[in-house]
Structure 1
Amino acid sequence: MNRSERRPTLVISHGAWHQPSSWAATCAALAERGYQTRVPALPSAGNPTPTGSMYDDADVIARAVTEIDGPVVVLAHSYGGMPATQGATGLTQVSHLVYVTAYLLDEGESVFSFHGRSTPSDTGGILRLLKNPRVALYNDIADEPAGRALDELVNQSRRSFTDRLTSAAWRDIPSTYVLCEDDRAIPLAMQERMATRATASRWIAGGHSPYLAAPHRFATVIDEILRSTPDATR
């Protein structure tokens, strides 16, 4: 970006079982590149028993966007694609959406339905963590930082994965899908299906959590995407 261009503020929609603090290193790396960031806490994640729905999460993302004066890019990771897609709908200051191995779904779809799972009769309670999260979430991260990340995981409401989208911001807002080649949580074939809905796509090496594996490298990727996307700075 030229110095005269106004960098958008990034509102980050974090993934399931995670907290805003997991993005601290990447936010610092983005700040070095001139970006302000906001990582609101999503009510579907927390201890001991979160009850927040995907719609509650979407409201939090929408509120974070509307509190910012100037252009906004919503950056979503994993489950965070759901509230980003729902919450950014109709918000004219959102210039771009970035989905990082995130759920880029359409109206009427839920995370459960996308994976071919039926909606349970009881959608309350806690969603079980992925089997072997060390491999699923952090397969390319060294043991010490991966251990810290695992220790910081919190509970996730089941309802957040069964709620269905009622709107899809990507139908009106340009978007980029970032596919992670060695993701062990969201299979590459599923990422490829979702990426076809985005305006553009980009491949990066590594696993499910590139923002934790290599924050500076990841921040560079985000900066490159936004510098090459005219609508992201307006």
Structure 2
Amino acid sequence: MPGPAGDVAAPGLAEDAAALRRALAESDGAVVVGHSYGGTVMAEGADHPSARHLVYITSYLPEAGTSQAEIMAEEPDPVVVEPGPDGALRIAGYDPETFGRRFWQDLDDDAARRGAWERVTAQSAAAFTTPTTRAAWQGVPSTYLVCVRDGSTSLALQRRHAARATASFDLETGHHPFLSAPEAVAERLVEILGAVREA
């Protein structure tokens, strides 16, 4: 997505959703997978005939008219973001160790933890403050993967959004299951792909 580019002038939700629609336009049938903020992008951009199924990984299925900031405000202990000198929003109050305890507490590979921290970047405020205008999940079958041990997106908030999906499954992982339990994620995605092909 173009949004996580690390400066205040970077594209936001509208541009991220447009990029998704362009990718879908090049497909004759896709399973779209979104993690965290990616679910908000899917809500805005996956209302496309090529979108056959939506997969949300510890993510969000917002109603139209909802911004990412509004979703995050529902958290009892939200991750704090603040503008940097350039105005772009950055995670605030964390170092590699404390960030790892919240986001990667189930990731044992130190090199992977360091690499993930190095890829944490800023986003434009528009990614957080722009309300959605669509809710693609209302018209496309969807599956929600609930990450039960997530220290970032609360289980209660995940359950609320998972209730909007067609189906949901629990993973005993933190916020990044594709890093800590890639086999479990791949197994579920293969099942979904098989079901979509048979439909």
Aligned twin of 1:107? 64
Aligned twin of 2:178? 211
Which of 32, 39, 44 is matched with 1:74 structurally?
Answer: 32
Aligned twin of 1:5? none
1:77-96 CA distances to partner (integer Å, 9 max, x unpaired)? 0001111111111x112110
Check if 1:88 corresponds to 2:46: yes
1:64-86 CA distances to partner (integer Å, 9 max, x unpaired)? 11112x21111000001111111
Task: Look up the equivalent residue of 1:222 and give its one-letter code.
Answer: L
Query: How has the CA–CA distance of structure 1 residues 60 and 49 changed in structure 2, closer, same or farther, with 3 Å as cutoff?
Result: same
Query: How has the CA–CA distance of structure 1 residues 110 and 83 changed in structure 2, closer, same or farther, with 3 Å as cutoff?
Result: same
Q: SS state of the match for residue 46, structure 1?
A: coil
Alpha-carbon separation, structure 2, partners of 1:197 and 1:173: 11
1:173-222 CA distances to partner (integer Å, 9 max, x unpaired)? 01011100100110000000001111111111110001111323321121
Q: SS state of the match for residue 117, structure 2?
A: helix
Instruction: Let me know the Cα RMSD of the aligned residues.
Output: 2.0
Aligned twin of 2:24? 65
Task: Look up the equivalent residue of 1:84 and give its one-letter code.
Answer: M
Q: SS state of the match for residue 52, structure 1?
A: coil
Contact kept in structure 1, 2:90 and 2:121, CA below 8 Å = no
Task: Look up the equivalent residue of 1:92 and give its one-letter code.
Answer: P
The within-5 A match list for 1:156-171 is 156-171=123-138
> Segments of 4+ in structure 1 off by > 6 A?
none
Aligned twin of 1:26? none
Alpha-carbon separation, structure 2, partners of 1:225 and 1:160: 29
Contact kept in structure 1, 2:88 and 2:125, CA below 8 Å = yes
1:107-147 CA distances to partner (integer Å, 9 max, x unpaired)? 01112112337xxxx9x922221643212221111222111
Contact kept in structure 1, 2:173 and 2:181, CA below 8 Å = no
Alpha-carbon separation, structure 2, partners of 1:101 and 1:212: 13
Aligned twin of 2:107? 141
Check if 1:126 corresponds to 2:126: no
Alpha-carbon separation, structure 2, partners of 1:156 and 1:222: 28
Q: State, as a whole percentage, how many aligned pairs show the same letter.
A: 35
Alpha-carbon separation, structure 2, partners of 1:58 and 1:232: 25
Task: Look up the equivalent residue of 1:64 and give its one-letter code.
Answer: A
Alpha-carbon separation, structure 2, partners of 1:44 and 1:94: 21
- Name structure 2 gaps, 5 residues minimum: 75-82
Q: SS state of the match for residue 168, structure 2?
A: strand
- Name structure 1 gaps, 5 residues minimum: 1-41
Count how many residue pairs are aligned between Structure 1 and Structure 2.
184
Contact kept in structure 1, 2:7 and 2:123, CA below 8 Å = no
- Shift in Å at residue 52 of structure 1? 1.0
Q: TM-score, normalised by structure 1?
A: 0.73
Query: How has the CA–CA distance of structure 1 residues 162 and 202 changed in structure 2, closer, same or farther, with 3 Å as cutoff?
Result: same
Task: Look up the equivalent residue of 1:88 and give its one-letter code.
Answer: A
